[in-house]
Structure 1
Amino acid sequence: MERYLDLDGDSGIVGYEIGDTFIRVQFNRTFKIYTYSYRSAGADKVEEMKRLAKSGDGLNSYIKLYANKLYDR
């Protein structure tokens, strides 16, 4: 798991892991890890989350707006 940079210092995310068809995100309040996959969230959303994770900004907001309940169960 890589540490999320959180350039603005306002994210609820502490880490992420990127795979070919998924991203795993760890949140700071519960420290739970959620997996968003092509199957559960769709390729476009997962690829955008990967981009945001690498950039260190906007991932938490994106998940809240577009992928909040789209994690693997």
Structure 2
Amino acid sequence: MKKLFLAAAMLLSVSAFSFAQTKASSGQTQTTQHTKKDGTPDKRYKENKTAKDTVVHAKKDGTPDKRYKENKKN
């Protein structure tokens, strides 16, 4: 009787652990952001960049540099 009870308890505990370790369902999206040590977003990664962060080519006096395509007028 002890062996039967022990086997049932082991089976129950193993099955409980296997159900507790399931991964997130596919309907949930994970959004992880790469951050620096101080907690600010790391701009080296694409998901942390915004349109504002793009490089604007300008001269030292602040005027647009016409050597670059995005600064030329059509």
TM-score normalised over the length of structure 2: 0.21
TM-score normalised over the length of structure 1: 0.21
Q: Which has the higher strand share?
A: 1
Higher relative contact order (CA 8 A, sep 6+): 1
